Amino acid sequence: MLRDHTCGEITAKEINKDVILAGWVSKRRDHGGVIFIDLRDRYGITQIVINPDNEHFEEANKLRREDCIQIKGKVRKRPEGMTNPKIITGEIEVITKHLLVLNKSETPPLEVDDRAVQSEEIRLKYRYLDLRRPSMQKKLQLRHNLAQAAREYLNKHDFLEIETPLLIRATPEGARDYVVPSRVHPGKIYALPQSPQLYKQILMVSGCDRYYQLARCLRDEDLRADRQPEFTQIDVEMSFIEEEDVYEVVEGLIKHMLKKGCDIDLATPFPRIPYDEAIERYGVDKPDIRFDLHLHDVTEIVRQTDFNVFKNAECIKCIAPGKDFSRGEIEELTSVATSFGAKGLAWTKVTSLGIEGGSAKFLEPIKDKLIKKIGANPGTTLLFVADKKKNTNEILGKLRNYLGEKLNLYKKDELKFCWITDFNLFEWDEEAQKWTPAHHIFTSPKPEHLQYLESDPGKVKGILYDLVLNGIELPSGSIRISNPDIQERVMAVIGLSKEDVERKFGFLLESFRYGAPPHGGFALGFDRLVALLSGTNDIREVIAFPKTKAAECPMDSCPTAWEDESLKELHLQLDSVAKKNIGKQ
């Protein structure tokens, strides 16, 4: 037997018992000729003692960090004053009789220690060592617990776990596809799924009724802390349901996951905020509602002044964080706002007599209306952004988040969920000068807005919803179009020709012609939820083998250069850019 206990479970109850343990040398200390080893495995740390008269003493003396060993010994109580109440095994130590070195370790290039600060590159290159750290093991455990809780809830509610293919025809989720060239069909490719969207809808046509999958999704897009090229969604689809049913399932699912995974009791239902209201109040469609700081639209009031910046702006909004900022702080906030794209940050201060400083002289004539609209108290600095409506909201929305953190306006560990509802079905793409889907093209328009589909697409709301946790979008989903004629009309609005539609989604539309049930669903960004519950925004912390921001893996060095042989087999050739990149010019 290689072990009969783990390093995280032996307590005073086992005193005088013989045990066999296996794990890694976390620390070795020499105390007056007696060797102490902190032996670590996934479950914890146990203190091992090796006395000088032990036949393995010399071997023990040579042990180094991360050597993998087995010990056999007897459990004893730690001497008075040597106990460690912080760990389960803190009352005992194991006095070793027998030591076996299972495998030596080279000097580890990183500290397997939660207190050490390590470079990201090194952590990812030696991820196996990084994952040995107790905090990383804890995150993997949490991820596992949450995944199992999700399965438990969905199984109990009659959902079937069904796998959908990884080699598929492209699905439109707004990012670029990763593609896989076909060897047996030279010149042809498979796409890797950006999500199982089309397949889950087809499963509804198949009569599966309630589907789920912990689905791997692959998207070639710019990476950020909360975006990886491969990530996991809890992907769900249901037939014969309405919007309310989706809210109920998502809320029930998250409540269950948090209770089971983290012993958190969550109050449901979550508040719902219509999209327009979210933008109006918070500037963004992912508001962090842990704090109340609102944006105030003062366009009509402020435009009447002689201040040029305000006179010609489409939208002027103000934020009043309730603080009297110093000149230095205002300068800092201005440069933060500029980094968010602002052309400047106008400001003034509310005093007991009116307003003072910054743009006060321009605002003087309308100061009463302004103060009344904002409801600001004396001693408050007002910060203004004037720009196109979209920019004003975006910039002040980001500044609001910045101020929330800087001024400690919320408790870091609080969890505040809210639904964002009533999104527009389409967004106007200024660059491409065309309508694009706000979510995806399979989202149903609100029936009462169908009449504007061709005449005024900007007016059409979709039956779609996002759930936001502390300012981060977690699940999003929609009620789908199940009528092929409406689907074709929606595709026409975004400029897809009949041929495009047929070529890209013909198989979905064809399936709809065989009695498609009304259906809808959602996908929850699982990595993001686990990360937030681990107290971080960075999803790489909760993915066993993530990629860097440059979409590379320092451990296995992927992506790697094409081998000539495989290029030949796939009937492919590299162009000059690719050749230069891999040094084959």
Mask 180-199, x = binds ligand AMO (CB under 6 A)? ---------------x-x--
Distance CA 573, CA 579 (A): 10
Distance CA 134, CA 119 (A): 18
* Cβ atoms of residues 212 and 235 within 8 Å: yes
- Length of the chain counted residue by residue: 585
Out of 73, 193, 261, 521, the residue judged to bind ligand AMO by CB under 6 A: 521
Comparing CB distances to ligand AMO, the nearer of 133 and 547 is 547
Out of 460, 519, 522, 531, the residue judged to bind ligand AMO by CB under 6 A: 522
**478: contact with ligand AMO by CB under 6 A:** yes
Distance CA 42, CA 6 (A): 8
**523: contact with ligand AMO by CB under 6 A:** yes
* Cβ atoms of residues 177 and 191 within 8 Å: yes
Residue 240 CA: distances (Å) to CA of 49, 253, 438: 65, 19, 24
Exposure string over 185-199, b if 16+ CB within 10 A, otherwise e = eeeeebbbbbbbbbb
H-helix or E-strand containing 145? helix 134-156
Out of 394, 422, 527, 541, the residue judged to bind ligand AMO by CB under 6 A: 527
Residue 180, C-beta contacts closer than 8 angstroms, at least 6 positions apart:
167, 189, 190, 191, 192
Comparing CB distances to ligand AMO, the nearer of 227 and 259 is 227
Question: Among residue numbers 72 through 111, which ones bind ligand AMO (CB under 6 A)?
Answer: none
**287: contact with ligand AMO by CB under 6 A:** no
Distance CA 386, CA 35 (A): 69
Of 79, 95, 76, nearest in space to 37 by CA: 95
Comparing CB distances to ligand AMO, the nearer of 337 and 529 is 529
Comparing CB distances to ligand AMO, the nearer of 75 and 469 is 469
* Cβ atoms of residues 109 and 126 within 8 Å: yes
**219: contact with ligand AMO by CB under 6 A:** yes
Tokens in use for 237?
């689809």
Strands lying side by side in the sheet with 295-297: 295-297, 315-319, 380-387, 346-350, 355-356
Tokens in use for 542?
């909760």
Distance CA 298, CA 315 (A): 8
**546: contact with ligand AMO by CB under 6 A:** no
Least separation in angstroms between residue 207's CB and ligand AMO is 19
Comparing CB distances to ligand AMO, the nearer of 453 and 481 is 481
**473: contact with ligand AMO by CB under 6 A:** yes
Comparing CB distances to ligand AMO, the nearer of 7 and 469 is 469
Q: Among the candidate windows 298-306, 472-480, 498-506, 551-559, which touches ligand AMO by CB under 6 A?
A: 472-480
Out of 238, 468, 474, 491, the residue judged to bind ligand AMO by CB under 6 A: 474
Out of 193, 445, 457, 477, the residue judged to bind ligand AMO by CB under 6 A: 477
Mask 421-460, x = binds ligand AMO (CB under 6 A)? ----------------------------------------
Question: Among residue numbers 197 through 216, which ones bind ligand AMO (CB under 6 A)?
Answer: 197
Question: Among residue numbers 348 through 407, which ones bind ligand AMO (CB under 6 A)?
Answer: none
Which residue of the chain is nearest ligand AMO when measured via CB? 525
Question: Alpha-carbon Rg of the chain, whole angstroms?
Answer: 30
Comparing CB distances to ligand AMO, the nearer of 195 and 381 is 195
Least separation in angstroms between residue 395's CB and ligand AMO is 23
Out of 17, 72, 227, 416, the residue judged to bind ligand AMO by CB under 6 A: 227
Least separation in angstroms between residue 151's CB and ligand AMO is 18
Total number of residues that touch ligand AMO (CB under 6 A): 21
Residue 255, C-beta contacts closer than 8 angstroms, at least 6 positions apart:
266, 268
Comparing CB distances to ligand AMO, the nearer of 215 and 298 is 215
Adjacent-strand bridge partners of 319: 295, 383
Residue 204 CA: distances (Å) to CA of 169, 173, 253, 505, 559: 19, 19, 20, 16, 36
Least separation in angstroms between residue 206's CB and ligand AMO is 17
Tokens in use for 392?
């004003």
Distance CA 545, CA 429 (A): 35
**476: contact with ligand AMO by CB under 6 A:** yes
Out of 491, 539, 542, 543, the residue judged to bind ligand AMO by CB under 6 A: 539
For binding to ligand AMO (CB under 6 A), which residues are involved? 173, 195, 197, 219, 227-228, 231, 233, 473-478, 521-523, 525, 527-528, 539
